[in-house]
Amino acid sequence: MKQAPPPSQVLDDQLLQAVAERGGVKQFPANAVLVTEHDESDSIYILLSGKAKVYGSGANGREVVYTVLGAGEYFGEMTLDGGPRSASVMTLEPTTCVIISGVNVRDFLARHPDFALHLIRKLIGLARRSTDTVKRLALDDVYTRIAKLLDELADVDGEQRVVRERLTQQDIAERVGSSREMVSRIFKQLTIGGYVSTKDRRIVLHKRLPSGW
């Protein structure tokens, strides 16, 4: 089975404890906005438990989800250059975070090269994903983007594959940069064709999705 999130994005227990000691712990309910795009704050948030989505929104109210973070992951490092927040972050479930001021983060980086290396690797990963996202949006149609997303998220469960994360069609639309109506039309056809179904609010893949639609 696939492991998520990727190991390079998660702090090991020893490093997590060391950096967490520099901040304060705070609990948030589901659907709480932790930071907003273009804010000038510079704190870093480390998730101890729960999940949060990193997203951007347009003037028309539409959103695109860049990634979903889980325990051991962190966000806010992009503000270390003195610039504003590059994205908004909202909790998807009750979440506990350690919040560390930018000053304390910079001091910790100077004293702990292992954290600096982890941060560099994370930023490289972000750059790679950004390049892949731009490529997909430019070259792939909506169906192809949906098929790739489902393939990345699905785990083997007997003779089927199951997307463990409970995703609504709106969630999928936000992740692939499309409208919910388009996602609904594609899922309707995939369901009629016997490729997918929904069980306990999870998407089940019954067979390999077609390469094109």
pLDDT tens track for 33-51: 999 999 988 899 999 999 9
Q: Over 90: is that where the pLDDT of 17 sits? A: no
What is the average pLDDT value for the chain, to the nearest integer?
87
The confidence score (pLDDT) of residue 25 equals: 92
What is the pLDDT confidence band of residue 53, given thresholds at 50, 70 and 90?
very high
**54 pLDDT above the threshold of 50:** yes
Residue 211 is predicted with a pLDDT of 83
Q: Are the C-beta atoms of residues 57 and 89 closer than 8 Å to each other? A: no
Residues whose CB falls within 8 Å of the CB of residue 57, separated by 6 or more in sequence, listed in order: 37, 63, 64, 88
Contact by Cβ (8 Å): 89, 51: no
Q: Pick one of 2.60.120.10, 1.10.10.1100, 3.20.20.140, 3.40.50.300 as the CATH number of 7-138.
A: 2.60.120.10
Q: Give the tens place of pLDDT for each residue, 122-175.
A: 888 878 877 887 777 777 899 999 999 999 899 988 778 999 888 999 999 988
Residue 3 predicted with pLDDT over 50: no
CA torsion, points 176, 182, 183, 187, in degrees to nearest 10?
-140
Residue 2 has pLDDT above 60, yes or no: no
Check pLDDT > 90 for residue 201.
no
Which of 157, 151, 101, 126 has its CA nearest to residue 6?
A: 126
Segment 14-39 mean pLDDT: 90
- The residues facing 171 across adjacent strands are none
φ, ψ (nearest 5 deg) of residue 138: -80, -35
Q: Select the highest-mean-pLDDT range: 15-29, 105-119, 174-188.
A: 174-188
**HEC per residue, the chain:** CCCCCCHHHCCCHHHHHHHHCCCEEEEECCCCEEECCCCCCCCEEEEEECCEEEEEECCCCCEEEEEEECCCCEECHHHHHCCCCCCEEEECCCEEEEEECHHHHHHHHHHCHHHHHHHHHHHHHHHHHHHHHHHHHHHCCHHHHHHHHHHHHEEEECCEEEECCCCCHHHHHHHHCCCHHHHHHHHHHHHHCCCEEEECCEEEECCCCCCCC
pLDDT at 83: 87
Q: What is the pLDDT of residue 7?
A: 44
According to CATH, where is 2.60.120.10 located in the chain? Answer: 7-138
Q: Boundaries of CATH 1.10.10.10 in the chain?
A: 141-205
Q: Which fold has domain 141-205?
A: Arc Repressor Mutant, subunit A (1.10.10)
Share of the chain above pLDDT 90, in %: 44
Q: What pLDDT band is residue 9 in, cutting at 50, 70 and 90?
A: low
User: Alpha-carbon dihedral of residues 99, 44, 79, 104, nearest 10 degrees?
Assistant: 80
pTM (2 d.p.) = 0.67
